[in-house]
Structure 1
Amino acid sequence: MPTFHVELFEGRSLEQKRQFVEAITKTTCESLGVEPNSVEIILTEVKREHWATAGKLWSEA
């Protein structure tokens, strides 16, 4: 059972998240030969103030 943990900035719409998980599921089924009901996707939304790159918070970029 493939399980994906995806961290992304908060703020995307329900429709965007729906399209994303459908695309990941479809691609996983095609490439790994598994059934859709075996694909698990966990989305974790993170505030920009809780994420930093190169020593800078994304909320301050």
Structure 2
Amino acid sequence: MRSLKPFELRLKQDIDAITEAERMKLNDWQRDFLQGITEQLDAETPLTPRQQMFTLETLKRVKGQTR
């Protein structure tokens, strides 16, 4: 098992920084997805490129940077 890349560490920090009000903007699937990603990163399991992409898109939606 390898340690996380700096990019993955940053994603984890960004997910941890989401407020409860921001989480409420997400649908159930998105909240569950971010929870699963957090658990995966806590276990130091690398993310696939697809997981990275969906995580970034979900974080952008939380911060109001997309539609």
Higher helix share: 2
TM-score (norm 2): 0.32
Higher-Rg structure is: 1
TM-score (norm 1): 0.34
Higher strand share: 1
